[in-house]
Structure 1
Amino acid sequence: MEIGLIGLGKMGGNMAERLRLAGHKVVGFDFNPQATAKLTATGSVGVNSLEDLVANLTTGKRAIWIMVPAGDPVDETVAKLKPLMKQGDIFIDGGNSNYKDTIRRHDELKPQGFDFVDVGTSGGVWGLQEGYSLMIGGDEEPVKYLSPIFEALAPAADKGWGHVGPTGSGHFTKMVHNGIEYGMMQAFAEGFAILKAKESLNLDLAQISEIWRHGSVVRSWLLDLTAEALKENPNLEGLAAYVPDSGEGRWTVFEAIDLNISAPVITEALIRRLRSREDNNYTDRALSIMRNAFGGHAVKKS
């Protein structure tokens, strides 16, 4: 089966290679010419324009998988592709778009004769070896048509992927998935921080993480990755305490509020990420001056 792929970063490039190894023809485009050259060198077709990408898809319906940042980049990519495509062709958004944007795009494209499928994609840079978890939303017919692609990208043809519901449901499910991920990461980080702070016991965090990996109720792939990182850098030297977010955690919290669902763990994990980016935190300085004002407590000067 043929598939066009836009966005050949680490994840997109690995997806292209996994598809190629499964016997699918991949035509890829990226604004980075080195990325397209690397794709060609590995046996797929790297092109330098959207026109060439569409022209190289010659069999069956054109299906183009878009892996670009959420928001305007997706709309701009779709707008540039539309004049090059024909009715019945399929747009696939495999990035972390807001599900509301996904529903809007589907509703705009469907009357024009195009299909739009949203795929919440998890697996990161390990997807080439491990396969990707794919949460798929969209109309039944295009999802069924694309099933060979999903089977090739997933950990197995019958595992790790599924059509979870109508348009938007794939991105909605991935949004909540990432919110859960925030909470899990925060819990592990806090737990290891507590272990680290108990200096009198001289605990080996790398050793403890290895013990937890086998038989423990907290064993997980996330713990596996953490254990490997602690083995290589137990004191986390050279790392700044700055944690970005790509939006999905925020959207999860907003949805929880709209749905009257209490989600304190995910919400606090998001707040902690925001806190990590504050230089010379004003909130803490304000707390310090309050304690000094009402109780005469000492204030630490910078």
Structure 2
Amino acid sequence: MQLGLIGLGKMGGNMRERLRLAGHEVVGYDRNPDIADVASLAELVERLPAPRVVWVMVPAGDPTRQTVEELGELLSPGDVVIDGGNSRFTDDKVHAEQLAPKGIGYVDCGVSGGVWGLQNGYALMVGGTDEDVAKAQPIFDALKPEGEFGFVHAGGVGAGHYTKMVHNGIEYGMMQAYAEGFELLEASEIVDDVPGAIKSWRKGTVIQSWLLDLLDRALDDDPKLAKIAGYAADSGEGRWTVEEAIRLGVPLNVISASLFARFGSRQEESPTMKAVAALRHQFGGHAVKEDADG
């Protein structure tokens, strides 16, 4: 089938290639003219036969909102817009309601697979009506990994991004557990081969996973991770997961702690730990390390 794809960065560009390898026609637009197939969204729409399916793969927030609004003025009744970015699930209802009076369908799709998706396929978590999802099913089938797993029509509009949000929250917790295990091994005077210990977990253990494989890969390149700053950003989905846990009264102890650990990584020196050190000194006379600046 034919697909319009907006946003040809690390994810979008590889998705275009995977779809073309599967025999689909993809018309891609990007602000970078060197990688785009067309010069504007209007030209992209003109190149596609109706009914059209247009996949938006741009950063969440204003870039996605502006793109959806512009597509609403260009597309025709019966067309479908797919938001494959990391949008907050609450935005999906707004987008769907904007497009519905024009007869344009809307599907939200959480996408996981990163830069490895071209080779391994992408896990796809989709929300929308059965009719709108069916219009894009050949595209989903080409992007997903081979076999029965890797795709779910999770529910109505918003369900795809909600599922991806929870997925990313779990990812936060798993990454934090592996990272803490690495630090404990590094601190031990007993273990001599930390990269080898990580490597030994990759097969035959209950904690084997793709994330563990990637940690092993990073240690092959830099056994002490000395070249990497201890700073971890967050895309927003971890925060949204914790907010939903608070709204629904669901205890998310590990995911919440992993999110706050990322916040802590951004402090050159933690004011919290300064206060803890001061309190220990006040009640127990414990030594306080003097600040180098005074």
Per the shorter chain, which TM-score range?
A: over 0.9
Could you tell me which residue of structure 2 aligns to residue 5 of structure 1? 5
Could you tell me which residue of structure 1 aligns to residue 16 of structure 2? 16
* Alignment match of 2:45 (pick from 54, 67, 76): 54
Deviations 1:209-231 (A, max 9, x none): 22111100000111111111111
Displacement of 1:202 in angstroms is 4.1
Amino acid of the structure 1 residue aligned with 2:136: L
Once the two structures are superposed, the pairs formed by residues 122-271 of structure 1 within 5 Å of their partners are: 122-156=112-146, 158-198=148-188, 200-271=189-260
Once the two structures are superposed, the pairs formed by residues 43-122 of structure 1 within 5 Å of their partners are: 46-58=37-49, 60-122=50-112
Q: TM-score, normalised by structure 2?
A: 0.96
**Structure 1 residues 25-34 or 291-300, which shifts more?**
291-300
Per the alignment, in what secondary structure is the counterpart of residue 32 of structure 1? Answer: coil
Deviations 1:77-96 (A, max 9, x none): 11122221111111100011
CA distance in 2, matches of 1:266, 1:75: 28
**What value does the CA root-mean-square deviation take over the aligned residues?**
1.2
Q: Unaligned stretches of 5+ in structure 2?
A: none
Per the alignment, in what secondary structure is the counterpart of residue 27 of structure 2? Answer: strand
Amino acid of the structure 1 residue aligned with 2:102: Q
* Alignment match of 2:268 (pick from 261, 279, 284): 279
Q: Report the identity percentage.
A: 54
Amino acid of the structure 1 residue aligned with 2:221: E
Deviations 1:94-135 (A, max 9, x none): 011111111121122112211000001000000000000000
Are the counterparts in 1 of residues 6 and 29 from structure 2 also a CA contact under 8 Å?
Answer: yes
CA distance in 2, matches of 1:34, 1:281: 44
Per the alignment, in what secondary structure is the counterpart of residue 285 of structure 1? Answer: helix
Displacement of 1:271 in angstroms is 0.2
Per the alignment, in what secondary structure is the counterpart of residue 201 of structure 1? Answer: coil
Amino acid of the structure 2 residue aligned with 1:191: G
Are the counterparts in 2 of residues 151 and 158 from structure 1 also a CA contact under 8 Å?
Answer: no
Deviations 1:199-246 (A, max 9, x none): x22431221122111100000111111111111111102211100000
CA distance in 1, matches of 2:192, 2:35: 44
Q: Unaligned stretches of 5+ in structure 1?
A: 37-45
CA distance in 1, matches of 2:191, 2:253: 32
Shift in CA distance, 146/158, structure 1 to aligned 2, threshold 3 Å: farther
CA distance in 1, matches of 2:152, 2:176: 28
Could you tell me which residue of structure 2 aligns to residue 30 of structure 1? 30
CA distance in 2, matches of 1:91, 1:53: 13
Displacement of 1:34 in angstroms is 2.8
Are the counterparts in 1 of residues 53 and 135 from structure 2 also a CA contact under 8 Å?
Answer: no
Amino acid of the structure 1 residue aligned with 2:40: S
Displacement of 1:281 in angstroms is 1.6
CA distance in 2, matches of 1:239, 1:221: 20
Are the counterparts in 2 of residues 11 and 125 from structure 1 also a CA contact under 8 Å?
Answer: yes
Are the counterparts in 1 of residues 56 and 64 from structure 2 also a CA contact under 8 Å?
Answer: yes
Are the counterparts in 2 of residues 242 and 273 from structure 1 also a CA contact under 8 Å?
Answer: yes
Q: TM-score, normalised by structure 1?
A: 0.93
Displacement of 1:72 in angstroms is 1.4
State the aligned residue count.
291
Deviations 1:246-299 (A, max 9, x none): 000000001011111001000000000011011222111122222222332221
Amino acid of the structure 2 residue aligned with 1:138: G
